[in-house]
Every structure is written in structure tokens, then in C-alpha cells.
Amino acid sequence: MLSVRRGQAALFVSDMHLADAQPRTGRFFLEAFLREAQAVSHVFVLGDAFDAWVGDDQIAALPHEGVEATFIQALAGLAQRGVAVGVMRGNRDFLLQAEARPGWCEASGAQLLPDPCRIELDGTPVLLTHGDALCTGDTEYQAFRAQARTEAWQRAFLARPLAERQATARVMRAQSELAKQTREDAIMDVSPDAVSALMAQWRCRLLVHGHTHRPAHHRLRLNGEAAQRWVLPDWDAERGRGGMLLARDSMISPVGPWPAPVPAAMPADFGGR
């Protein structure tokens, strides 16, 4: 289990949706990320770092000065300095390191995290997930998610030329955005029952995730005990949206431009039982 000990600090971020076609948002994120990442021992990226990732051969095609390549180089620089970098797949970049050959992990210096992933912050169990699997009301997406995570689907998709995969990703993104306009908000959010079940399964009363683009700090009850759920914001320079979480000295605090909830302590009785 990954452990962030007392005296160390961890930075959590997700849903940057980096794309060279959106350089302003990329620069907006990178400026904040590089500033905050200088003083931490751990970085956790909880999915959707990229707007679309269609295979690790995409790395060689990236413009060297673009925001996507710059982010990969930034992670590699942090890893070389001894920062533990963990990256989780999201719904837009679930093909990161999908093949056994050298690719994303070698280029970025990052460790690929399972979803969900349990870590410790100063002895407190914390559960990390991208969050898309918790949106159980969106049955159409969950069916696609189950199919796209199979080895057979990924092998067939990755066998297609890079340009064809990129074109397919653009079509899928457009279809997804159109579908969102006709779906109820509740369907696009996490299911409270799914959240409770996952936290109980992993014996954690502190959950951090992204995906929903509904940044918030939720206090809840889990089997009669206090629990917390932090939802990371997405990044959008046009709307001034974005933000990260910084964990240090038994405190989790929002950093960056998002409307900051009150920092929350991690009391000793939050340990798993």
C-alpha cells in the first residue's frame, strides 16, 4: 500500500482534459500544478489527465512544446527528483499503458494505479477512484465501460492506425457531449449507494475522486460513523475552473482556483476497523 507519512505531503488532481487543441486550459493547469508540486513527496492523478488517449504510440506524435508533452515531461522530472507519481486511468484515457511494451509509464516515470486504490495518509486509510464506476445510473455508459475494459476490445482498437483511432475518439467525444444534454443530472452523478458500498468494501471513511465535474466536500455517515468524500474539480481556463487537494500534517486542503471548502482534519478514529 502506498503510504504518505507524517512530514510528507501529497497532491491530488484529476480531470485536466489536456489537449493541444486547448492550450489555454493546459497552461492554466500546468502553472498551478508545477507550483504546488514543487513541495510534495507524492502526486496522485486520478484520471482524465488527457482529453483523449488512444494508445501509447500517441506519445511519439505529440508536439514537443504542446501541453500534453509538457505534462508528461513534468511528471518525469518530478519522478527523477524522487517524487512518487501515481496515475489512474479515467474514462477519457483508459488506454494509458494498455500494452505491455514500453510506453506511458516509461515516458512519465509514473506508477499506474489500480482503480480503486487504497493508500494511507499519516496512517489514515484513504480510497482513491476516478469516479466513473460510481455513476451506476448511467447504464449506457456502464455497458460501454465494461466492454472497453476487456482485452479483446482493446486489442482490436489498438490494432487500428493511430489517425483512425484519433478520429474515432473525436466522434465518440461529440456523441458523449450530445448525450449529456438529454440525460438527467442525477444520472451523471455518483450513486450514494455505490459510494457507501465501495467505502465499506475497502474499509475506508475518506474517499477522493473526480469525474463528475461537481467539486465539493461531502460529509456523510457510513455504518453510523463519520465519513468524508472529496470531489476534485475539472479544469477549464475559460470559466476559471480547476483545483487540487493538498494533504499535509493530517489536513486535506483545497488549493488552486476552486471555491475552497473548509479544510478538513483526518482524525485518528478515521482508521479502518
Percentage of the chain beyond pLDDT 70 is 91
Instruction: Say if domain 3-260 classifies as CATH 3.40.50.620.
Output: no
Q: At what angle do helices 23-37 and 67-80 cross, to 10 degrees?
A: 10
pLDDT value, residue 100: 81
Q: Residue 221: is its pLDDT beyond 60?
A: yes
- What is the spatial distance between Cα 17 and Cα 3, in angstroms, rounded to a whole number? 27
Q: What's this model's pTM, rounded to 2 decimal places?
A: 0.93
Q: Residue 273: is its pLDDT beyond 50?
A: no
The lowest-confidence range among 13-27, 30-44, 47-61, 181-195 is 181-195
Sign of CA dihedral 151, 48, 104, 230: negative
Q: What's the rounded mean pLDDT across residues 112-121?
A: 97
**Beta carbons within 10 angstroms of residue 135's beta carbon:** 21
Q: What's the rounded mean pLDDT across residues 176-185?
A: 67
User: Which residues does 161 contact at the CB level (< 8 Å), separation at least 6?
Assistant: none
- Domain ranges, ordered by start, for the chain: 3-260
Q: What's the rounded mean pLDDT across residues 79-106?
A: 95
Q: What's the rounded mean pLDDT across residues 1-6?
A: 89
- What is the spatial distance between Cα 264 and Cα 161, in angstroms, rounded to a whole number? 48
Residue of higher predicted confidence among 184 and 158 = 158
Q: Residue 134: is its pLDDT beyond 90?
A: yes
- What is the spatial distance between Cα 53 and Cα 4, in angstroms, rounded to a whole number? 29
Nearest to 119 by CA among 208, 233, 197, 212: 208
Give φ, ψ of 23 to 5 degrees: -65, -30
Task: Report in angstroms the alpha-carbon separations of 20 from 25, 76, 189.
Answer: 9, 19, 28
Classify residue 153 as left (phi > 0), alpha (psi -120 to 50) or beta. alpha
- What is the spatial distance between Cα 163 and Cα 144, in angstroms, rounded to a whole number? 22
Q: What is the DSSP code (8-state) at residue 152? A: H
Averaged pLDDT score across all residues of the chain: 91
pLDDT value, residue 173: 83
Q: How confident is the model at residue 81 (pLDDT cuts 50, 70, 90)?
A: very high
Q: Residue 37: is its pLDDT beyond 90?
A: yes
The lowest-confidence range among 62-71, 166-175, 223-232 is 166-175
Helices (H) and strands (E) in the chain, counts: 9, 13
